[in-house]
Structure 1
Amino acid sequence: MELWYTEKQTENFGITAKITETLVNEQTEFQHLAIIDTVEFGRMLVLDGMVMTTVKDEFVYHEMVAHPALFTHPNPEQVLVVGGGDGGVIREVLKHPKVKKAVLVEIDGKVVEYCKKYIPETAGELDNPRVEVIINDGYMHIHDHKNTYDVIMVDSTEPVGPAVQLFSQGFYKGIYDALKEDGIFVAQTDNPWFKADLIRTVNRDVKEIFPIVRVYVANIPTYPSGLWTFTMGSKKHDPLQVDTDAIPELDTKYYTPRLHKAAFALPRIVEDLVKGE
């Protein structure tokens, strides 16, 4: 008998994958957590029925959360990742030798625990001495740490359950205050096909707080529609002014120095959303 997992991405559309084994199936204090082994994408982390990461394509998301901001900031010594308990963004952050400390604040300790056990491809650097893992509410951590970080990365689920407040203007204002005077933040902001209103709203809210706001895109096969957006807010440094010739080649599979500015060249469908159309 064949077993298949289906994520219902909207009421009328979903993706499906053939699975070989269910490794974790648990209701935590905050969400339903599953780790399944799929034929096509390898082990897959699923939270509240939504694919968060897979072994096969995780590098796209994690590299594109981390590297555009870290190569835009001239000296990113103190970095905060909100969410991201799978550890993939932290792994990419540590590829930057200028980073002295990377703090991960994840609300659900079970995500960290199970990813360390079953998805070491992403979680393998969580015990690195440059990393501090805090199991707590990222929203509160932001508001309790003013003028602390050079770069803040919001690696959240979609805006449901405990992640809803991570898409609020109050949270973005808290991020601004938690950043140093030339700080940068970046957040995943979903896709233009099914979450157009979210992209419009986030872009408007961030523009009311940060003087420099840029949106960029990447292709992630297991995320709804495949076309994914990220929003960067910066106090001083513009990612489009980066000297890409000075960006060193890293051990990456998606991000490259040439892609740094190219990712900000938006398809018209996304460009119109950023303009508020």
Structure 2
Amino acid sequence: MELWVTEYQTPALGYSCKISETLRTEQTDFQHLSVVVTEQFGRMLLLDGMVQTTEKDEFVYHEMITRVALNTHPAPRRVLIIGGGDGGTLREVVRHPQVEEGVLVEIDDRVVQAARDFFPDLSCSFDEPKARVLIADGIQYIKDHKDSFDVIIVDSTEPVGPAVELFSAAFYQNCFQALKNDGILVVQSESPFFNADVIKMAYGGIKQHFPITKLYLANVPTYPSGLWSFTIGSKKYDPETLSCEDEGNARYYTSEVHRAAFKLPAFVRQIIEAGE
């Protein structure tokens, strides 16, 4: 018998991967968590049936959600990550030579434990000297830390369940206040093919508070449509102008990719114009 896992990306579209083993399935206090072994992408983490990360393509998402902001800011010494309990974003943050502290705030401790148990290439970041991992409500953490961070990265799930408020204009205002006077915010903002309303919500909400707001793209095979967006809000620095061209050991990110990611197709430009 063949076993397959399917993420229903829309009511009319599913994305299926053949699996060879189920490593974990549980209902946490916040969501349903599964870890499976797929033949195409290796180990895969799903939350509420939605693909969060896989061994084979995680590097694209994690490099692009981090390095664009980190190479825009001239001195990203303190970086806060909201969500991202798999550890991949934290891994990229603490690799950056100018980062002195990366703080990960994840609400669901079971996600962190699953990463430790099954994704060593991601969870290796948890024990780095520059890393702090806190199990807490990121929304409240942001409210409690004014003028504290150079960069804030919101590595959230889709806007359902506990992540809904992470896409609100009020949350982006709190992020603005938690950043220093030249700080940068970056959020994942979903697929322009399937989630135009999410892009409008994120882009419009961030633009209310940040003088520089831009959207950029990357290609992540296991995310809906494969084309993924990120929205960046900056108090001072233009994210299309690099302050640092650190590529480290990146597999997707380059300085050329950084600049090119902001060159948007016409239909994506129309989405963000509608959200302004």
- TM interval, shorter chain, is over 0.9
> Separation in 2 of the partners of 1:247 and 1:160?
35
> Separation in 2 of the partners of 1:242 and 1:128?
26
- Secondary structure class of the residue paired with 2:67: helix
> Separation in 2 of the partners of 1:72 and 1:248?
10
> Separation in 2 of the partners of 1:192 and 1:120?
31
Paired residue for 1:247? 245
Mapping for residues 58-97 of structure 1, pairs under 5 Å:
58-97=58-97
> Separation in 1 of the partners of 2:16 and 2:24?
18
Percent of aligned positions that are identical: 54
> Separation in 2 of the partners of 1:16 and 1:144?
41
Query: Which has the higher mean CA deviation after the structures are superposed, 183-192 or 233-242?
Result: 233-242
Query: Which has the higher mean CA deviation after the structures are superposed, 195-204 or 161-170?
Result: 195-204
User: Which residue type is aligned with residue 131 of structure 1?
Assistant: A
Gaps of 5+ in 1: none
Paired residue for 1:135? 135
> Separation in 1 of the partners of 2:198 and 2:113?
31
- 1:174-207 deviations in Å (ceiling 9; x for gaps): 0000000000010000011111111112211111
> Separation in 2 of the partners of 1:201 and 1:109?
28
- Secondary structure class of the residue paired with 2:224: coil
Q: TM-score, normalised by structure 1?
A: 0.98
Paired residue for 1:22? 22
> Separation in 2 of the partners of 1:94 and 1:27?
31
Distance 1:75 1:118, change over 3 A: same
Counterpart selection for 2:266 from 255, 264, 268 = 268
User: Which residue type is aligned with residue 143 of structure 1?
Assistant: K
Asked whether the 8 Å contact 2:83–2:154 carries over to 1, the reply is yes
Mapping for residues 15-164 of structure 1, pairs under 5 Å:
15-164=15-164
Paired residue for 1:221? 221
User: Which residue type is aligned with residue 262 of structure 2?
Assistant: F
- 1:71-121 deviations in Å (ceiling 9; x for gaps): 000000000000000000011111211111000000000000111110111
> Separation in 1 of the partners of 2:24 and 2:127?
22
- 1:32-65 deviations in Å (ceiling 9; x for gaps): 0000000000000000000000000000000000
Using the TM superposition, give the Cα deviation of residue 241 of structure 1 relative to its aligned residue in structure 2, in angstroms.
Answer: 2.4
> Separation in 2 of the partners of 1:241 and 1:196?
26
Paired residue for 2:230? 230
> Separation in 1 of the partners of 2:115 and 2:242?
34
> Separation in 2 of the partners of 1:71 and 1:8?
35
Say whether residues 1:195 and 2:195 are aligned partners.
yes
- Secondary structure class of the residue paired with 1:186: strand
Gaps of 5+ in 2: none
RMSD: 0.9
> Separation in 2 of the partners of 1:3 and 1:241?
47
Query: Where has structure 1 moved over 2 Å in runs of 4 or more?
Result: none
- 1:147-180 deviations in Å (ceiling 9; x for gaps): 0000000000000010001001110000000000
Say whether residues 1:257 and 2:249 are aligned partners.
no
- Secondary structure class of the residue paired with 2:153: strand
> Separation in 1 of the partners of 2:79 and 2:134?
13
User: Which residue type is aligned with residue 41 of structure 2?
Assistant: F
Asked whether the 8 Å contact 2:104–2:132 carries over to 1, the reply is yes
